[in-house]
Amino acid sequence: MANDNAKQTSGKKPLKESNLPGAGFGPHWIWAILLVILFINFFGNSVQERRSYDDFLKLLTAGKISEVVFNDEQIIANVKGSAKALVTYKVQDPDLIPLLKTKGIKFEATPKSTFWSNALFWLLPLFIMIMVFRNASKFQGNKLLSFNKSRAKIYVEKDVKTHFSDVAGVDEAKEELVEVVNFLKSPEKYSRLGGHVPKGVLLVGPPGTGKTLMARAVAGEANVPFFSINGSEFVELFVGMGAARVRDLFEQARSQSPCIIFIDELDALGKARSLANMAGHDEKEQTLNQLLAELDGFDSSTGIILLAATNRPEVLDPALLRAGRFDRQILVDKPDQNGRLQILNIHIKKVKLKSDVDLNVVASMTPGFSGADLANLINEAALIATRRNAESVETNDFVKALERVVAGLERKQRLMNPEEKKRVAFHEMGHATVALSLQTQDKVQKVSIIPRGIGALGYTLQRPLEDRYIMTRDELQHKIATLLSGRVSEEVFCGDLSTAAGDDLVKASNIARAMITQYGMGDTLGLVSEETQSNRFLQMDYPAPQGKSWSDKTEERIDKEIKAILEHCRHVSREVIESNRQFIGICVDILMNKETLDADELADLWSLHGRSFHRNRYLPSLS
Q: Which residues are catalytic?
A: 428
Q: Where are the beta strands (DSSP E) in 411-514?
A: 442-448, 459-464
Count of beta carbons in the 10 Å neighbourhood of residue 446:
21
Half-sphere exposure of 593 (CA within 13 A, CB side): 5
C-alpha 620/C-alpha 522 separation (Å) is 10
Check residue 340 and report its DSSP letter.
Answer: H
Half-sphere exposure of 607 (CA within 13 A, CB side): 5
Check residue 215 and report its DSSP letter.
Answer: H
187: nearest Cα among 71, 77, 301, 50: 301
Q: Contact, 185 vs 258, CB < 8 A?
A: no
C-alpha 362/C-alpha 401 separation (Å) is 11
What's CA 31's distance to the chain center, in Å? 41
Instruction: Tell me, letter by letter, the H, E, C secondary structure of 345-390.
Output: HHHHHHCCECCCCCHHHHHHCCCCCCHHHHHHHHHHHHHHHHHCCC
- Give the list of residues 6+ apart from residue 276 with CB closer than 8 angstroms, or none: none
283: nearest Cα among 147, 403, 389, 103: 147
Half-sphere exposure of 332 (CA within 13 A, CB side): 34
Ordered alpha helix ranges (H), 47-168: 53-61, 96-103, 115-140
For 19-28, which contacts have Cβ atoms below 8 Å and span 24 or more sequence positions? 19/137, 19/138, 20/134, 20/137, 20/138, 20/145, 20/146, 21/134, 22/130, 22/131, 22/134, 23/134, 23/135, 23/137, 23/138, 25/131, 25/134, 25/135, 26/135, 27/135, 27/139
C-alpha 487/C-alpha 484 separation (Å) is 6
Q: Contact, 489 vs 427, CB < 8 A?
A: yes
Q: Contact, 70 vs 57, CB < 8 A?
A: no
Beta bridge partners of 226: 155, 260
